[in-house]
Amino acid sequence: MKTYQTDESRASSRLRCASPRQGVESGISGVWRSAGPRPSTLGSRPAFTIVELLTVIAVIAILAAMLLSVLSKARVAAQKKQAAVEISQIVGAIQQYDSVYGRFPVTANDQALAGTNDFTCGGTGYDATGVNQLWILGYTNDAEVMAILMDITNTAVTLANMNHQKNPQQTIFLNAKMAADTNSPGVGPDLVYRDPWGNPYIITMDLNYDEQCHDLYYCRKLMSQNPSGSPTSQVGFNGLFNPDANGQTDNYLYHGKVMVWSAGPDRMVDTNSAANLGVNKDNILSWQ
């Protein structure tokens, strides 16, 4: 006998076969439908207040200032290292020239200026007050030395090495960067060798060949005596020594043939102040 199901019995059977999950989902769906559209979380956070915005800007400014300070210190450190390398190269080139020719790279005029003394050459720079002055106390700049060491000849700047007369073997003892102007680091059109801060290197050579260098600046008692103002100390800063009694004269000497130095980042020198103080303490010295 066939069994006939009514529409109501078939619907009831389908409900009994439905899974619980389907019922839950159906119920949830119904809830959302009855509650309206699901709210969106985008844009629900309130915007920055003016105080918060100013605080963020202030923090960024502080971090930027700290970064600039670090970068500035790193730049100066790199420049000091470069100056020390260039100073060492100048010293080495002069010593090599002396070894090859048995004399220092100076002209007859410079030798006459020095007489029986040593010879210091440099250029214009700034004193402790920042006023431009001639450091070299009447002596020439280092252009003639550079012309001889680099074998630069027949220029309008200097005749020091005309026709290679001071460097007959035409040997290039010093390879230095050439600068485009007289304010930039390197050897300028005037043949003056300038440090990374644009000031000329100061060079002293032992022209009387007594194995002692008498630099026109560091020979001074006020600059080199250690401790400063001592009534008896013959000891000088950075290894200098004064052979005169009680060290009371301007005769602090370096035991060696060549002294080369730079005024450093501040570009200043004070011959009335100790070598380890004020504007002198950042000077970069070949004998340090």
Domain residue ranges in the chain: 68-209+261-285
Contact 105, 149 (CB under 8 A): yes
State residue 148's pLDDT score: 97
Peptide bond into 105 cis (omega under 30): no
Mean pLDDT of 245-256: 97
Q: Greater confidence, 87 or 120?
A: 87
What is the reported pLDDT for 122?
A: 77
| β-strand pairing of 119-121 with 202-205 | antiparallel
CA distances from 40 to 43, 45, 137 (A): 8, 11, 82
Average pLDDT over the chain, rounded to an integer:
84
The residue-averaged pLDDT of 105-113 equals 88
Beta carbons of 191 and 147 less than 8 angstroms apart: yes
Does 32 have pLDDT greater than 80? no
What number is the average pLDDT over the span 84-113? 95
pLDDT at 130: 55
CA geometry: angle at 253 spanning 247 and 258, to 5°? 175
DSSP state of 48: P
Name the band, by pLDDT with cuts 50, 70 and 90, for residue 27: very low
| 191 SS3 class | coil
Question: Quick check: 244 and 234 in contact, CB under 8 A?
Answer: yes
pTM: 0.76
Structure confidence at residue 271 as a pLDDT band (50, 70, 90): confident
Residue that wins the pLDDT comparison between 157 and 2: 157
Q: What is the pLDDT of residues 115-171, one digit of tens each?
A: 889 998 875 555 555 554 444 444 578 899 999 999 999 888 888 999 999 999 999
Which residues have C-beta within 8 Å of that of residue 93, sequence separation ≥ 6? Answer: 149, 173, 174
> Pairing relation of β-strands 119-121 and 132-134?
unpaired
Q: At residue 31, does pLDDT exceed 70?
A: no
Whether 130 contacts 268, CB under 8 Å:
yes
If we measure between CA atoms, which residue out of 248, 261, 257, 258 comes closest to residue 217? 261
170-201 as b/e: b if 16+ CB within 10 A? ebebbebeebeeeeebbbbebbbbbbbbbbbb
Q: Are 262 and 201 in contact (CB under 8 A)?
A: yes
pLDDT digits (tens, 9 = 90+) for 37-72: 555 555 556 677 888 888 888 899 888 888 888 888
Higher pLDDT, 212 or 67: 212
pLDDT at 1: 44
* The pLDDT of residue 201 is above 90: yes
pLDDT band at 20 (very low <50, low <70, confident <90, very high): very low
